[in-house]
Amino acid sequence: MVAAPPEHPTPARVVVLVSGSGTNLQALLDAVAERGPAYGVQIVAVGADRPGIEGLRRAERAGLPTFVHRVRDYDERPDWDLALAESVAAFDPELVVSAGFMKIVGADFLAKFGGRFVNTHPALLPSFPGAHGVRDALAHGVKVTGCTVHFVDDGVDSGPIIAQEPVEVLPGDDEATLHERIKDAERRLLVEVVGRLARDGYRIEGRKVLIP
């Protein structure tokens, strides 16, 4: 009797990093809960750079282990980076997802997770990188902005782009209204991209990301 191949291979282990409200994390948690093994993802832990945020409470409500590393608790930034990398590595993830994680990781983290560390950014990169992408796009007067899911490299929001979605700027938009509309698109795009990377695998060739 030859065992039938599993209908769904073991879901990919994913660690998610957050710094704030965690609505992108919640979208991933909901996708795992609603789609089950067919989605191909299991979130195994959630990490943050600060305590007491809603993103960590969302993880706790989902019964997930969490960890926090505050930069100011370390003498040197590389010590923080290594501690974060070791906490993530302890969960043996295949993918790490920055879902609103507001710190730039360093050499140790990228040595371990470069090429499998994904970030979502609320602008159409390479336009408006950095911590104020929505504000900067609005100030520039763009008519269309959007969100980008990309692999993290050693720059700021500069890694190979996986997917993007446009979002129109509406008359009367302020940073909050525009960002919330972008986050609607982000949450859908991140859930789709993380699922595809987990299920189908991918190749990174220079600046191009190929998903079969």
Binding site for ligand GRF (CB under 6 A): 18, 20-24, 55, 99-100, 120-122, 183, 186
Q: ∠ CA 179-185-191 to the nearest 5 degrees?
A: 125
Q: Which residue is nearest to ligand GRF (CB)?
A: 100
**Which residues does the annotation mark as catalytic?**
121
Cβ–Cβ under 8 Å, residues 23 and 181: no
Which tokens in the block code for residue 120?
A: 């979502």
List, in sequence order, the alpha helices (H) in 18-69: 23-35, 54-61
* H or E segment to which residue 89 belongs: helix 77-89
86/158 with CB nearer ligand GRF: 158
82/100 with CB nearer ligand GRF: 100
82/118 with CB nearer ligand GRF: 118
Least Å from the CB of residue 4 to ligand GRF: 39
99/118 with CB nearer ligand GRF: 99
Of residues 145, 144, 143, the one with CA closest to residue 133: 145
11/55 with CB nearer ligand GRF: 55
Q: ∠ CA 55-123-179 to the nearest 5 degrees?
A: 55
* H or E segment to which residue 137 belongs: helix 133-140
Residues, the chain = 212
Least Å from the CB of residue 122 to ligand GRF: 4
146's torsion region: left (phi>0), alpha (psi -120 to 50) or beta?
A: left
CA separation for the pair 120, 151 (Å, rounded): 9
Least Å from the CB of residue 137 to ligand GRF: 12
Least Å from the CB of residue 167 to ligand GRF: 11
List the beta strands (DSSP E) in 49-198: 66-68, 95-98, 117-121, 144-151, 161-168
Least Å from the CB of residue 22 to ligand GRF: 5
